[in-house]
Structure 1
Amino acid sequence: MFDTHVNLHGETFADDLEEVLERARISGVSRFLAICDRFDNFPAVLEIAKTHGDIWCSAGVHPHHANDYKNLQVSDLVEAAANPEVIAIGETGLDFHYGYSAEEDQVASLRKHIQAARETGLPLILHTREADTLMADILEEEFVSGAFQPLLHCYTGGHELAHRALALGSYVSVSGILSFKSAREVREVIAEVPMDRIILETDCPYLAPVPMRGRRNEPAYLTHVAEALAELKSMPLEAVQQVTEANAIRLFSKVLQ
């Protein structure tokens, strides 16, 4: 399996990262994508990728931090993406739930990331919360200027954004939320997403899946995300693991270079 969204830098895994990774490998995770949330954290994220042969990373600024990086340039992201370990741009996006950054700052940052994804040809990791329509509008508008590869990460949005993004060739990533009892609407949306567009993630250390709820999430729990998807799609677990891994490798094709 390919855990396509892990947050490994920082204090959460500082004391036992190697043990966490080994547990994941034993559970069947063979590739990891370490996510950059703030551009000043990029060196730390890149170092994790450089020192582990089965870990790659992204370059980007989470929408929560958009107001801290108003001077971020497209060229900064493109330069970071020149590292062979960088296989994606992001995560970026729109999050109006907490309002940590103003809408105009989030939109400006998102558009810079889109341009960087367009220039590098790398997938664009998109975080969307309470901004479905605006996100879909921006994606469609930007596609007029030139195609890029969207990924709706940890998808919890509605049918509209999923449908409009899929029409643009987007992939959709599912996390432990799929297993939550309260996530009926998420399951309804994912049930309609074709299997050739779905990939898996833990988003660790957040969102531990059932039956690990309440614990620090870690990549070894990815198998429980796969189990939730297998149940939803009425597919054998092994088939889900194989299909989603193949999808992830196709999406993040730079891992094969």
Structure 2
Amino acid sequence: SGPEGAPYMLIAIKSVATDFDKRQVKNMNVKKVFLLGSHAFSDILLWDFEDTFFNLTLKEIHFLQWVNVSCPKVKFIFKGDADVYEMLEGQEISKDLFVGDIIVHAKPIRRRNSKYYVPEFIYGQGIYPSYAGGGSFVMSGHTAVKLHLACQEVELFPIDDVFLGLCLLRIGLQPTRHEGFHTFEIVRPSAAPHLQVFNPCFYRELMVVHSLTVPQIWLMWNLLHDPNLQCNSSQDPTVFPFSGSNFGGMN
């Protein structure tokens, strides 16, 4: 909780029924835990529509509506699964904040066989507005209120990440890229083609990394929680990614 008893952070995680293996912890089905938690804390949000790729935008809209009605005083909102408190220290809750792995100058895909195909009659412009890739980001409660209003004015779009980008454009807010978010996994530097990037020292200060398989997630989790883990800060490019020198705020 934050000042005056208001929630400091709301963590929202999207999930689908087919992600069974990702909802297991120590051989226990997390779904059971969620159901118990839902009865006790009402922390599971359910809506009545088919859970498909093109309905992900509806999840964003309903979630923003829920925040506006049920948790309007929350300081920060995180969509992902990691500890972000250090990054948020010193941030003013009365100002806009939207950070993640920001994709800029992305072009609509016009190939009909693509999962992300968008015909011109749906979106006729040649470039998408800046948006957070991977559906993972941190925003302030102040920004969430604005996005809730914007999503009622912006026409529905089949790609949820881009839809939020359109809403950000509507409220005149430019999202900020943060090195703690990696939508397309950790990229091996061209100057070091043989560098082993699947190393816990690369991951220990990150918040979101996509494109890992379930076995890789289990392995990395155990490596990160190894009490004997030692990293050389002089060689670790992810050391202190949340410090002021690496974090850009918003106006």
Same fold (TM over 0.5): no
Write 1 or 2 for the structure with the bigger share of helix: 1
**TM-score, length-normalised on structure 2?**
0.32
- Output the TM-score relative to the length of structure 1: 0.31
